[in-house]
Chains A and B, each alone.
Chain A
Amino acid sequence: MSENLRVSPAPHISRKHSTKTIMLDVLIGLVPASAAAVYHFRQHAVILILTCILASVAVEYICCKLMKRENSLGDLSAVVTGLILALSLPPKLPVVYAVIGCIFAVGVCKMAFGGLGCNIFNPAMGARAFLTVSFGMAMASWHLPAQMNPDMPGLGPDTQVNAKNSSQEQKDQDVKLDAVTQATPLSWVKKAVKTRNAEKASEIIKSNWPNSQLKYALTGNIGGSLGETNALALLAGGIYLLIRRTISWHIPAAVLGSAFVFAEIGYLFDKTAFANPLVHMVSGGMLICAFFIATDPVSSPITRAGTVVFGCGVGLIIVLIRLFGAYPEGVMFAILIMNAFTPLIDRMLPAKPIGGIPDGK
C-alpha cells in the first residue's frame, strides 16, 4: 500500500489557482472592454484583436523554439499581452504595424529578458511606445465609433466640419461611416493648452466638454484607442478582478486617486486651460491602465507600500504628460517610467518583519 505514496516538503495542500487562472481572470476582465471595442469599431476591432493575439502567441511559440525551452503558451500570458496591446491601439492601425508591435512586445520586451516573470517593462506598453515613435502618424489617427452621430452636439468645430464632409463623401462613395477621423477628447484638451490663448482655450474646453459629454465617455461613444473609450466596460472588468482578488485594490486606487488629485490641482489652478479631473478619469487609457496595465505583477513592485508608491507615480506622470507634455495621453510613458523605477522602489521599501528588523538591513 505504500509504494505509490509521495513524499514532499510541507505544505501538502495548495490553493487551487495558478498563473494560468490569474491570466484567464484578466482575459475575462477584458471581455466587456473588448466587446465594447467590437461594438464601437466593428470589423477593425475584430481584426486588430485577433491579429494581436495570434501574432503574440506565434512570437512566443517561435521564441520558445529558438531558445530551446519548453513551450510556455499554456500560461496564457502571451494572449493577455496581445489583447492589451490591441486594446491600446488606434482602431484603424494597419495590421502590419500591429504585428510588428507584437513581435516587439513578446520577442523583445518579454522573451529577450528571459520570459514571463523576468521582463522589466510591461510588454504591451513597451511595444506601444515602440510603435508610437516608429509610426507616429498611424498611431495618432483616431476614428469615430461606427454608431457615432457626426452631428452630435459638443464635437469640436473643426472636427464637426470634417465629420460632415466625410459623411457626405461616404454617401457619395458608399464607404462606411467609420472612415471618419476625429480628435480624441484628450487632444482637444491638449490643443486648448497649446494655443496658450486663455479665451480660446476655455471656449474649446467648454464647447467640447459640457457635462453631458461625460455620458459619451462613459459609454464609449467617442474617439480613442480600441479598448479605452468605454469607461463602464472597463470599470465592470476592473470590479470583476477586484472581486476575484486577482488584483489588489492598492494599485488602481493609487493610480486613480493620485491622478485625480493632481488633475484637480491643475484644474483649480487654471480652469480655462485644464480639463475637469473627472474628464481625466474617464478618458484616454486611465481606467484600462489603473485596472489592467499598472497591475501587471511582473513589472510592478512586490510590497504593498511599493505598489502604492508605484501607482501614485503612474498617476502623477499621466497627469503631467497630459497637462504639459507633447503627447495628449500619458499612460504608456507613465507605465514605462515607473517600470524602470520598480527595482528601486522594491529596494527602498522592503518587507518589514513583524517585530522590527527590516528586510535586508
Chain B
Amino acid sequence: MKKTFKGGIHPPDNKDLSKDCPITGLVKLPGQISVLMSQHIGAICKPVVKKRQEVEKGELIGDSEAFVSAKVHSPVSGTIKDINLRSHPVLGRVQAVVIEPSEAEPACPPEQNSFADFSEDDYTPEQINEKIAEAGIVGMGGAGFPTGVKVGPNPKMPKETMIVNACECEPYITCDYRVMLEWTDQFLAGIKLLRKASGCRKCYIGIENNKPEAIKLLRERTENEENIELSVLETKYPQGGERQLVNSVLGKVIPTGKIPPMVGVMVCNVSTAAAVAEAVIDSAPLTHRAVTVTGKGVQKPANLYVPTGTPTEHLIEQCGGLKEEAVKVVLGGPMTGFSVGELQTPTTKTTGCVLCLTKEEVGEAKYLFRQTPCIRCGRCLSVCPEKLNPTKIAHAVKADRLDLAEKHNISACMECGSCSYICPANIEVTGYIKTGKIRIARANKDMPA
C-alpha cells in the first residue's frame, strides 16, 4: 500500500520542463544584489554595515537579537551601494542591503569532494548547532523557520524522529530533486549532522514516487545506513506539508493547529540539509541556493545556483527571457508562491522557484478572476488535507464574521491552496482565508487596519 494522507489534489506536475537541467552557476552576476533583511519567519534583522562600506563574500550584514531569527550574510564581495526599502515577495517593502558586486566571476556550486570523506563523529551536537546558527540557515522549503531554533534543544518537546522532506510536492519545482541527484554526498552529510544535532534516533527521507531516479540513487546510498530509511510516498499535493508528511511517513496525527515537535518529530527540507553540511564542514554561511526557473512562459527552463538577493528579472534573462504569452511571474511554487508585479523583487533564502506562467497554464477563469456562485459541491472539503470546511471559513470572512471564522478553525488552515485549485466556481477560497487570518492578527494586536 502506498503511504499517503487523506484528501489532497493531483495537479499536473509539469516537472519535465526542468527536471533534466543540471544546477548551473549564473553566467554573470547582476549589477546589484539586494539582500532583504527579512529572509525568514521571525524578527526582521538590522543591517550591521554602512553605506559605501566594502564587504567580503560571506561577511555578516544583518543580525537580530531576537531568539526566532537568522543572520544574513553577503553573498558576494563588493561595495554597499544603498540601505533602503526594496520590494519583498511577501511583506510588501522591507529594508535591504544593496551590494554592487566587485568580483567578475559568479560563484559555482560547492565542491563535492569535501563532503564524501566526512564523519559526523568529528562534531559535537553543540558545535553543529552553533555553526547552523552562525550560518543563518533557515528552512528552505518555503516557510523559512530558522533552523538553528528548530534543531536546538527543547526540553518541553524532545525530538525523536527526523523526517527529511524530499517530496517537492508542488508542481514545476525541481531544485530539491537536482540537489539530491547532484549533491548527494552533501545532502546525506547534512542529514547526518542534523540528526546528530537534534538528538533524533531515526531519520526517514520522505520522497514522492514521481522521482524514480532519486529514489534509486538514495536507496543505493543509504543501504548501509542503519538510521536512515527511505519512505516512498504517493505523488499527491500537499504531500510535503509538514503535518501531512508526518502522517504519511509515521502514521502519526498531529493535533489540530499544532506542529510536528508536538509528537517528537522534526521535519527539514532537502536544500536545508545541504546548506547545513556546507555550513558545518566548509564553515560557509547560507548565501546561495539552487533555484528552479521554469514555466511555459520562460524561454529555457533551468536550475540555477543563485546568490540570495538576485533580482528576479536577472534570473529570467539568464534563461532567455519571458515569452510573449507570459502573464504571471511567481516566486515559489504555483500553489503557495507569491506572484510579483515588479521583476526587481530579489530572491530570498526561501525562494526555490521562479515560475513564469502563461495564460493557458493559469487558466482563463483564474486569469480573469471570474467567480461564479458557490454551488455547495463540497469539493473543497473533500480535498482539504486538514479536513476543514474551507467554504464556511471563506463565507465567514466575506461576511466579516471573524469570530465564526475562528470557530471554524481558520488558524488550522495551512494555506496549501487545494480548495481554490479544485473550486469549480473559481472562488479564491484560500485568498479569503489568508485575508481573514491577517485581519484576525491585526484585531488581536489592535493594529490599524
A residues near B (Cβ < 8 Å) are 1-2, 4-19, 21-22, 75, 115-118, 248, 297-298, 300-304, 307, 350-357, 359-361
Contacts and interface: CB of A to CB of B under 8 A. Distances in A.
Contacts of B369: 8
B229 interface: no
Nearest to B11: A13
Nearest to B255: A355
Nearest to A302: B378
A351 B379 CA distance: 13
Which of A7, A10, A303 is packed against the most chain B CB atoms within 10 Å? A10
Contact of A14 (B343, B365, B386): B365
A351 B407 CA distance: 12
10 contacts: A9-B434, A13-B366, A14-B426, A118-B373, A298-B375, A351-B389, A353-B256, A353-B387, A356-B255, A357-B257
B415 A10 contact: yes
A10 B376 contact: no
Contacts of B392: 351, 359
Nearest to B417: A11
Contacts of B412: 353, 355, 357
Contacts of B327: 4-6
Contacts of B439: none
Nearest to A17: B424
Contacts of A1: 313, 321-322, 343
B375 A19 contact: yes
A357 B330 CA distance: 34
B337 A12 contact: yes
B389 A355 contact: no
Contact of A18 (B247, B335, B361, B372): B372
Nearest to A301: B378
A5 B256 contact: no
Given A302-B376, A354-B254, A354-B386, 11 more contacts: A5-B339, A5-B341, A8-B366, A12-B357, A13-B171, A13-B334, A115-B373, A117-B425, A302-B389, A303-B381, A351-B387
Contacts of B11: 13, 15
A303 B374 CA distance: 15
B432 to A, nearest CB: 9
Chain B interface size range: 35 or more
B339 A12 contact: yes
A19 B425 contact: yes
Which of A248, A298, A359, A361 is packed against the most chain B CB atoms within 10 Å? A359
A354 B248 CA distance: 13
User: Can you list the 10 inter-chain pairs with the closest CB atoms, starting with the nearest?
Assistant: A11-B417, A9-B431, A117-B373, A297-B377, A351-B389, A355-B256, A355-B255, A302-B378, A11-B335, A13-B334
B340 interface: yes
A13 B387 contact: no
A10 B365 contact: no
Contact of A302 (B332, B381, B424): B381
Contacts of B68: none
Contact of B425 (A12, A18, A361): A18
Interface in B406-449: 407-409, 412, 415, 417, 420-426, 428, 430-431, 434
A117 B336 contact: no
B385 interface: yes
Contact of A360 (B391, B408, B422): B408
Contacts of A18: 365, 372, 424-426
B421 A14 contact: yes
Contact of B430 (A11, A15, A354): A11
Contact of B386 (A22, A353, A360): A353
Contacts of B342: 2
Nearest to A353: B256
A14 B340 contact: no
Contacts of A10: 330, 332, 334-339, 415, 417, 420, 430
Contacts of A360: 407-408
Contact of B391 (A5, A116, A298, A302): A302
Contacts of B335: 10-13
Nearest to B369: A8
Given A11-B421, A15-B422, A18-B424, A354 B337 contact: no
Given A1-B343, A13-B171, A14-B426, A304 B415 contact: no
Contacts of B328: 5-8, 12
A71 to B, nearest CB: 12
B243 interface: yes
Nearest to A342: B376
A9 B334 CA distance: 10
Which of B326, B329, B337 is packed against the most chain A CB atoms within 10 Å? B329
A4 B327 CA distance: 6
A352 B408 CA distance: 10
Contact of B388 (A7, A21, A248, A359): A359
B143 interface: no
A105 B428 CA distance: 30
B362 interface: yes
B116 interface: no
Contacts of B6: 354
